[in-house]
Structure 1
């Protein structure tokens, strides 16, 4: 596979694939406390790369905008530097241009300078147990498809559920990046994949290399 993954911290990774440079959920703030509507987060580690070191990207793959551990202050500033920002429909309305909103299974295409293109498919995600949607808000993942290598799946903030299983049925992925930190706030449940969820995901994609994101910091 002609692909490089640079882990930057939290849910943020730089994916260089087939001549394209894509950044997942940008978080570049320094360690500290950050207030969400219902909980206070403490960021423990800073990013492995600065915003300036990232350079130009073809698109930001933003799973959701409403939680600062997936899009912090510096990450919001970074969005203006991206050629395209792909996110949820609700998130695109909140963020405005250049954000573009996608429902699960909607697709778009990125065009490269080398004449190549890459197809991006939004995938279902559920940010916690069934029924959590009114509280947690909309989230999507992404599948990257090209003619030159197996698809790449970025789960976004989700637990293992039928939507992830459906991604596995539709795409024979060669690389899977699950958001696997077992995030937990006030309830006796997790909001992102725990170990068991990640194992189920790996079983669903038996030919894929698994690189967990959003597991620390």
Structure 2
């Protein structure tokens, strides 16, 4: 494999959307790219307050989209759907792939696909995720995380999930170099104290379970339902056993991992 495949850059666009360049391959996660303010009606209306750091027109051609799920606008909005249609391939849940059609492929937990562009090959493995308390799956729908293995390293993208026992196996199966964790402690007025994404404390606990060397927070800003103060993330990762692991990405700025 080309040495270029070992160079990874990440550009944080906002919420759960990250543009990754892994060697010759360009990857986009959960494309939510509508300008703000944006209102998305539904059983649980979503309100975007801050737009993405890059517009859809400013994106390079995308070889692969990793889509945790297709049912919520903070992970896939109308502009993101347009980008989805232009991508070389889309990996997501089987249910989302059936709805989306086209180049979308569904992966069950622990199922893998390889994607090759130029001299770079990625192996993408779907990982367990649950987008809310146990028993709410019929409301939230299926969701997936991803492990991305490339020449020289392994990335983990959690997708929208709460912390639960099935996540423990990820650290047992893979040596995670960088974990992109969806945080924000998502809550809605209609669901009371039930959370639909990890809090800062839960993200820190998962980082310990994973053994991740670097943790990059995602899904903590730009929407009304992501109400936890981001300062809590810094506090949670200030524990001595997590010192030096937390890394914030500056919106719109490519950074080498």
TM-score normalized with structure 2 length: 0.81
Distance 1:164 1:24 in 2: 19
Query: Residue 66 of structure 1 aligns with which residue?
Result: 71
> Of the two, which has the highest radius of gyration?
2
Conserved 8 A contact 1:92-1:100? yes
Match of 1:157 in 2: 160
Query: Is the CA contact (8 Å cut-off) linking 1:143 and 1:154 kept in structure 2?
Result: yes
> Where does structure 1 lack aligned partners over 5 or more consecutive residues?
none
Aligned to 1:167: 170
**Structure with the larger helix share:** 2
Tell which has more relative contact order, 1 or 2 (C-alpha 8 A, sep 6+). Answer: 2
Gaps (5+ residues) in structure 2?
1-5, 223-257
The CA distance in 2 between the partners of 1:209 and 1:29, in whole Å, is: 29
Q: TM-score, normalised by structure 1?
A: 0.95
Question: Which residues of 2 match residues 206-217 of structure 1 at below 5 A?
Answer: 206-217=211-222
Residues in 2 aligned to 1:206 and 1:91: alpha-carbon distance in whole angstroms: 30
Distance in 1, Cα, partners of 2:122 & 2:75: 24
Conservation of the 8 A alpha-carbon contact between 1:33 and 1:40: no
* Contact 1:36 1:67 survives alignment (8 Å): no
Q: Counterparts of 1:49 and 1:183 in 2: how far apart (Å)?
A: 24
| 1:153-210 deviation per Cα after TM superposition (whole angstroms, max 9, x unaligned) | 0000001112221111111100000101111113212101101210111111334200
The answer on whether the counterparts of 2:37 and 2:51 sit within 8 Å (CA) in structure 1 is no
Matches within 5 A, 1:112-191: 112-114=117-119, 116-146=120-150, 148-185=151-188, 186-187=190-191, 188-191=193-196
Aligned length: 215
Judged with a 3 Å threshold, the aligned counterparts in structure 2 of structure 1 residues 196 and 33 are, in CA distance, closer, same or farther, namely same
Q: Residue deviations 1:89-131, cap 9 Å, x none?
A: 00011111121111111100001212x3110001110001111
Q: Of residues 53, 57, 64 in structure 2, which corresponds to 1:52?
A: 57
Matches within 5 A, 1:89-108: 89-108=94-113
Give me the whole-angstrom Cα distance separating, in 2, the residues matched to 1:41 and 1:34: 6
Is 2:21 aligned against 1:21? no
Q: Distance in 1 between matches of 2:177 and 2:70?
A: 27
Is 1:76 aligned with 2:68? no
Deviates more, 1:103-112 or 1:202-211: 202-211
How far apart are 1:34 and its partner, in Å? Answer: 2.6
